[in-house]
Amino acid sequence: MGELLSTDKELEKVVVVAVRTPDILESTVNEHLDELEFLAETAEAVPVKRFVQSLTMPDNRTYVGSGKLQEIAEYLTIHEDISTVIFDDELSPSQLKNIERALKMQVLDRTSLILLIFARRARTAHAKTQVELAQYQYMLPRLTRMWTHLERQRGGINMRGPGETELETDRRIIRDIIAKLKEDLKKIDRQMATQRKNRGKLVRVALVGYTNVGKSTLMNALSKSEVFAENKLFATLDTTVRKVVIGNLPFLLTDTVGFIRKLPHHLVESFKSTLDEVREADILLHVVDISHPGFEEQIEVVSSTLREIDDRDKPTIMVFNKVDAFSHIVKDEDDLTPATRANLSIDDLKKSWMAKETPSIFISALNKGNFDEFKEMLYKEVMKVHVTRFPYNDFLYTETGEEEIDE
């Protein structure tokens, strides 16, 4: 996979590359590249240039066409301070090798960049093990003879079996590491499952949503706890569970890792125990960044990922967050062109979403805008589940109280 981005204080300069196929709008490609650049910035790099090529489908050998690859190579020759090229897709092992040979530079694809960010963000032993497993699973098919240093990880004695090449030895070492990490995760998963069982008779509410939509900020606002929240992608990797009380109704609130477009399959598998929190939740709070121009696509990404994790229908509240950051383009009265998504006001969006069956609410978690109405809606949903599952529990009040308690 090559060396990962440097952690030195001086930020590295990178260029980003994407392919636009006929079924994708130019505006969508730009949104995708904005997100890729945000990922690069989260990894402490500075994007300085973007390359986009329109193709029927990505080239099997080099992702972009030979002409575009030559254009990128020439740009890199002139700008010697650029250290990495990042592609907005997962590259096959052969594509990665061919591109690196042509550009003579470190190449990262979207998956390796996300894995890098996850590795930096992981805090607990659990999250670190999950990320490490995903990294090795990604590396295995991409090994080259550059990976001879793996042999040294197993001690100074030559570990090679009869007739084994260095590459085969490296593959065997990585398979052994993967097997051990899987065993470690199984033990951790059993411990996590036991912890979940010991949480008592409380309704479980899980915050789900795209990365950087404000889930942790909402968690902090509801539980008065200090969950790490930052305007960067994947600020939260470790699942956080807090006991929250609205009125006289206690429940468990879980903050989960955010989803993202083209989330690497290895990561979904590795974060099984984190996603178990979503599977075992009674109610989902689907948090959406209403100020993001592509919020509808983000909703679909999260919804499809949730269907993969758990196909059972669960009570869900759509929480449209960041109304304080929302803006729209007002059309001129004499403009007869059809209105676009950018022309819709917050009131237009409220009307369209309120008409749907799924309960929805528009808030600002940061400024606690419309928060009382949100808490009342959440209280009613939790109470519905509570009285069904624990009918003999008698500590419920009939109306929402003002007090919140965090334990």
Query: pLDDT tens, 180-208?
Result: 988 888 887 787 777 666 666 788 899 99
* Most trustworthy range by pLDDT among 188-202, 257-271, 366-380: 366-380
Q: Cβ atoms within 10 A of the Cβ of 303, count?
A: 13
Q: 117, 141, 176: which is the final residue of a domain?
A: 117
In a domain, 3, yes or no: no
Can you give the CATH number for the domain in which 339 is found?
3.40.50.300
d(CA 402, CA 239): 27
Q: What type of residue is 15?
A: V
Supply the Cα-derived Rg of the chain in whole angstroms: 24
Residue 88's nearest CA partner among 20, 170, 8 is 20
Residue 388 vs residue 51, higher pLDDT: 51
For 38-52, 140-154, 293-307, 316-330, which range has the lowest pLDDT when averaged over its residues? 140-154
For 36-40, 72-76, 206-210, 219-223, which range has the lowest pLDDT when averaged over its residues? 219-223
Residues 135 and 222 both lie in one domain? no
In a domain, 244, yes or no: yes
Residues 104 and 145 both lie in one domain? no
**pLDDT band (50, 70, 90) for residue 105:** confident
pLDDT at 163: 47
For 49-53, 168-172, 403-407, which range has the lowest pLDDT when averaged over its residues? 403-407
pLDDT at 237: 56
Residues 134 and 97 both lie in one domain? no
For 26-30, 304-308, 309-313, 363-367, which range has the lowest pLDDT when averaged over its residues? 309-313
Residues 215 and 317 both lie in one domain? yes
Look up residue 145 and give its DSSP letter.
Answer: G
Full-model pTM:
0.77
For 106-115, 140-149, 303-312, which range has the lowest pLDDT when averaged over its residues? 140-149
**pLDDT band (50, 70, 90) for residue 236:** low
pLDDT at 339: 66
In a domain, 287, yes or no: yes
- From residue 96, alpha-carbon distances to 57, 103, 155, 179, 302 in Å are 17, 11, 30, 26, 28
pLDDT at 150: 47
pLDDT at 270: 64
Taking a C-beta distance cutoff of 8 angstroms, is the pair 83, 106 a contact?
A: yes
Backbone angles phi, psi at 140, to 5 degrees: -50, -55
Residue 207's nearest CA partner among 169, 249, 158, 258 is 258
- How many independent structural domains does the chain possess? 3
Per-residue model confidence as pLDDT tens digits over 29-48: 998 999 899 889 888 899 99
In a domain, 281, yes or no: yes
In a domain, 4, yes or no: no
Residues 258 and 400 both lie in one domain? yes
Mean pLDDT of the residues in the chain: 79
Backbone angles phi, psi at 245, to 5 degrees: -125, 125
Residues 89 and 172 both lie in one domain? no
Residue 266 vs residue 20, higher pLDDT: 20
Q: Cβ atoms within 10 A of the Cβ of 161, count?
A: 9
pLDDT at 151: 44
Residues 230 and 243 both lie in one domain? yes
Residues 79 and 149 both lie in one domain? no
Residues 242 and 319 both lie in one domain? yes
Residues 175 and 230 both lie in one domain? no
DSSP-based three-state secondary structure for 352: helix
Q: 91, 117, 143: which is the final residue of a domain?
A: 117
pLDDT at 289: 93
Which residue intervals of 85-165 are DSSP H helices? Answer: 93-103, 110-121, 125-139, 150-153
Residues 228 and 373 both lie in one domain? yes
Q: What is the mean pLDDT of residues 291-297?
A: 87
DSSP-based three-state secondary structure for 17: strand
Q: 88, 117, 146: which is the final residue of a domain?
A: 117
In a domain, 1, yes or no: no
Domain span at 170 = 122-156+164-190
Residue 370 vs residue 331, higher pLDDT: 370
d(CA 127, CA 279): 18
Residues 186 and 216 both lie in one domain? no
Residue 329 vs residue 398, higher pLDDT: 329
